[in-house]
């Protein structure tokens, strides 16, 4: 598949940067002429992944979050990576309603939302090393 365009963003793990990340990816994705619904889905998925890096990956401490976006003819790939604490039990983490932070009133639906709003979701994580989310969504098909 031919790459049409590509961008990379690196952000500090601050909650103020979540809306910046979401809007930046949406603005970049706009080049593929997506529907409003497709843009809304992408924003929601990016928001969930970046929030997870801030809250879970770095647990509110300082760290960097990298966002890579690649545009293909009819598809966007978004990679969101942190170098935080990582995930010990990935199967459990990805179950609907599972959260390791119930005291923070997390819904446990972040991965479920990413999975349902995007066309593919791959999570790679190593305890102590960090977490990498690779998502794709077809646009205008
Ligand atoms: N980037 C991350 N780094 C470390 N742990 C993560 C990360 N993303 C998700 N997790 C783990 O996976 C669980 C499920 O995530 P999610 O479905 O978004 O639910 P929630 O964020 O509401 O807890 C989290 O509670 C956390 O334990
Ligand atoms: Mg979450």
Dump pLDDT digits (tens) for 80-111.
Answer: 999 999 999 999 999 999 999 988 777 899 99
The per-residue pLDDT for 1 is 86
For tokens 């690649």, the residue is 70
Shortest-distance Cα residue to atom 17 of ligand 1: 110
Residue 48 annotated among the catalytic residues of the structure: yes
Output the CA 52–ligand 1 centroid distance in Å: 5
42: left (phi over 0), alpha (psi -120 to 50) or beta: alpha
The CA-CA-CA angle for residues 88, 92, 94, to 5°, reads: 100
The per-residue pLDDT for 104 is 78
Cα–Cα dist 109/68, whole Å: 23
The per-residue pLDDT for 11 is 98
Shortest-distance Cα residue to atom 16 of ligand 1: 110
Give which of 26, 19, 53 is closest to 40, Cα–Cα. 26
Pocket test for ligand 1, best of 58, 90, 99 (most atoms within 8 A of CB): 99
Which ligand has its closest atom nearest to the C-alpha of 51? 2
Low-confidence ranges of the chain (pLDDT < 70): none
70 lines ligand 1 (CB under 6 A): no
pTM beyond 0.95, yes or no: yes
Which ligand has its closest atom nearest to the C-alpha of 86? 1
């Amino acid at each position: 598949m031919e790459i049409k365009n590509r961008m990379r963003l690196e952000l500090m793990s601050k909650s103020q940067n979540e809306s910046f990340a979401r809007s930046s990816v949406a603005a970049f994705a706009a080049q593929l002429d997506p529907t409003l619904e497709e843009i809304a889905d992408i924003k929601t998925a990016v928001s969930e992944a970046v929030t997870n890096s801030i809250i879970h990956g770095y647990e509110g401490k300082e760290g960097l979050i990298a966002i890579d976006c690649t545009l293909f003819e009819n598809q966007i790939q978004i990679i969101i990576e942190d170098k935080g604490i990582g995930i010990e039990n990935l199967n459990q983490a990805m179950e609907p309603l599972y959260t390791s932070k119930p005291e923070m009133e997390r819904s446990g639906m972040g991965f479920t939302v990413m999975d349902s709003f995007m066309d593919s979701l791959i999570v790679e994580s190593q305890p102590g090393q960090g977490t990498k989310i690779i998502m794709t969504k077809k646009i205008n098909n």
